[in-house]
Structure 1
């Protein structure tokens, strides 16, 4: 989340992606993000076997995807978060629109993805089918 005055908000409000105010991540020392991180670490410590199982499941999915779709690169997993880069031969980075296109398709199928240009980030959420 980014908080700004109406004037600043309006200066970034545009369909032009070069005018986008890309938000900082929760790991950029934001106090709210830090509080959420500490709560997450506490939950991780309390439920380590579940998160370990989810991480193993993500690694398995990552391996299967890499073999099936060679354009997926830099597949990485930490805990319940998985991220992939999509090599569509366009410039990598925030201005690559492949993530947005895939994000719209994912939403149509009930999957929420966080996308930054050619990078897709998926967080395994409770309520979704759990790995065996």
Structure 2
């Protein structure tokens, strides 16, 4: 769960342009308001050559993914010549039920109230995570839009940290749907989340730090 400033994205796009390399933006997780704007690329004021959307495209109701590209890239593959065809179809391509869910979700994003709700969730997330910045048991406490993440200090920190499965089991027993990435705990609540839900989530995170204090500490 790495977070970086918008200038990094802009510089990546500049490097790709100089090198005549296609710039692909993976907005599967960051799209649909997660970073504070509809898409993360907006914050860097860039237009990707190719972009990938999924997850939030249906509001999380059904699985669906879409890849968009510049017109010239599309035209390069639009041909009856099989040597130029971009073979991308699969068994569930253009599933009508999933597409209907996506259409309904797109209509919701046209409503200003949807973006207001997104900003409200971001504010709740900031208020909830702020106390953890002064908690010595955690480090790299961060937030971008509606996404927060913090690292529980552990002797074997990293994606495969031994504390990861223990944390996941702990949260499951608390009826909290959280999936730590090793010793990194991240929170991506649905936009229908309420303040009481947020309080319960972060209370669980504090309790997890209390429960697993023996696993924490600096590496030897």
Q: Shorter-chain TM-score category?
A: 0.5 to 0.7
Count, aligned residues? 100
* Cα gap change, 1:117 to 1:76, in 2 (>3 Å): same
- Judged with a 3 Å threshold, the aligned counterparts in structure 2 of structure 1 residues 61 and 130 are, in CA distance, closer, same or farther, namely closer
- Write the mapping of 1:48-63 to structure 2, written as runs, cut at 5 A: 48-63=115-130
Equivalent residue, structure 1, for 2:138:
72
How far, CA to CA, are the matches of 1:44 and 1:75 in structure 2?
29
Contact residue 112 and residue 122 of structure 1 kept, 8 A:
no
Deviation track 1:41-81 (CA, whole Å, cap 9, x = no partner) reads: 956664111111111111111111233x3121112222332
Highest CA radius of gyration, 1 or 2? 2
TM-score in terms of structure 2 length:
0.38
Give the structure-1-normalised TM-score: 0.60
Map residues 1-132 of structure 1 onto 2, 5 A cutoff: 26=28, 34-36=53-55, 46=111, 47-67=114-134, 69-88=135-154, 90-126=155-191, 128-130=193-195
Structure 1 position 101, deviation (Å) = 1.3
Runs of 5+ unmatched residues, structure 1: 1-24, 28-32
Q: CA RMSD in A?
A: 2.9
The answer to whether the Cα contact below 8 Å between 2:149 and 2:185 also exists between their aligned partners in 1 is yes
Partner of 1:21: none
- Going from structure 1 to structure 2, the CA distance change for 1:75 and 1:113 (only over 3 Å counts) comes to same
